[in-house]
A = this chain, B = another copy of it.
Amino acid sequence: MKHITIDDIAKEAGVSKATVSRVLSRPNLVKEQTREQILSVIQKYSYIPNVFAQALAGLPTKNIGFVVDEFPNNFYIDLADGIDGIITARKYTLQVMSSLWDPERELQGIRSMIINRAAGVLLAPSSPDCEAVDLLKRSKIPFVLLNCRTGDPDISCVSCDNYQGGALMAEYVKKLAFEQMVILPVADHQTVLDRIAGFEDHINIKAVKPILSSSAKTYQDGYRIAQFIAETYHLAEKKTCMFVANDYVAVGVIAKLLELGIAIPSQVAVAGFDDIRISAMCRIPLTTVSQSVCDMGRIAAEILLDRIMQNKTAPVKHLIEPRLVIRESA
């Protein structure tokens, strides 16, 4: 099944391929009559230009790259959903790649996007100043960072106002009655640090006991670490309030706490962050902070597309408003 080319169309229509090309790119440069005629031939053979030839001839591609940490990450899913909506509506195509939290793979992903001459790149970076971002800057390909905040004035980025989200939760939680406050960070990510900073700045209670440098990332991690926390902080005796900086971990913590016979929220109140799908459906529906990740994807995609089409040339930094979601766990 040989693909038909612009030459075939030109021959059939009795014109030169230059004219056919014009009909496709700048139709108004062609006399209406011949244009209509060529168009009909194109229709007849359902001719579609070869993207590689176009790209080689200098046209920008229509695919945008997207690099995330890992697919099973709830975050990615909603992000992809939002991005997809915007992207495909404008006939762009999405190329995805996972870094699996490995900076080397992350870098490799960006390289792949550059090699494939992506028109633009969306990246949820491991850190705002990782090598991948650096490479991206040098490549001159338009890009926007997701779930990340940076001071670099040349970089567009969109993220939730995590600090504000932490503050929101603190304001809510400090009205609750409890004897001690435990903060469980998750990973070392900027977003997490911001959440906790916002929380600590507004909780203004001396009894705060942050557990430092936890590397809990998943449900399983939360489940595992909960036992340790319960013992160390005597959760069974002291009424406590716990702020877990990410829902996925929080759900695991809750599961274990329940197993240990600790009542939630009466004995231990648990507050999360993210409002992932599970949060509303788990054992004890989670009180958390929502950051409409889907919007984040949508907005980032829009910013990127604007930059690609040169509509807007100035980098934009967008902060998404967090929203407190009160359910049963706290």
Q: List A residues at the B interface (Cβ < 8 Å).
A: 1, 48, 50-53, 55-56, 63, 70-72, 76-78, 80-81, 84, 88, 93-98, 112, 115-117, 138-140, 219, 251-252, 255, 277-278, 281-283
Contact = CB atoms under 8 A, between A and B. Distances in A.
Instruction: Please give me the 4 A-B residue pairs with the lowest Cβ-Cβ distance, nearest first.
Output: A52-B55, A71-B81, A71-B80, A52-B52
Contact of A282 (B53, B76, B281): B281
Contact of A283 (B93, B117, B277, B281): B281
A268 to B, nearest CB: 18
Nearest to A87: B97
Nearest to A94: B96
B93 A112 contact: yes
Contacts of A53: 52, 56
B138 A1 contact: yes
Nearest to A98: B84
A277 B255 CA distance: 14
Contacts of A97: 84, 88, 93-94
Given A50-B56, A52-B55, A95-B94, A139 B281 contact: no
Contacts of A112: 93
Given A93-B95, A251-B281, A278-B281, A115 B70 contact: no
Contacts of A140: 1
Contact of A117 (B52, B63, B96, B281): B52
A235 to B, nearest CB: 20
Contacts of A78: 71-72
Copies of this chain, complex-wide, total 2
Contacts of A93: 95, 97, 112, 116
Contacts of A63: 95, 116
A117 B51 contact: yes
A112 to B, nearest CB: 6
Contacts of A282: 278, 281-283
Nearest to A255: B281
Given A51-B116, A52-B53, A277-B278, 18 more contacts: A1-B138, A51-B115, A52-B55, A52-B56, A71-B77, A71-B84, A72-B77, A72-B78, A72-B277, A77-B77, A80-B96, A84-B96, A84-B97, A84-B98, A95-B96, A96-B96, A278-B278, A281-B282
Scoring A52, A116, A140 by chain B CB atoms within 10 A of each residue's CB, the highest score goes to: A52
Contacts of A48: 115
Scoring A1, A70, A116 by chain B CB atoms within 10 A of each residue's CB, the highest score goes to: A116
B56 A139 contact: no
Contacts of A277: 72, 278
A184 to B, nearest CB: 18
20 contacts: A52-B52, A52-B53, A52-B117, A63-B116, A70-B81, A71-B78, A72-B277, A81-B98, A88-B97, A93-B95, A93-B97, A94-B95, A94-B97, A95-B95, A95-B96, A96-B96, A251-B281, A278-B278, A281-B282, A282-B283
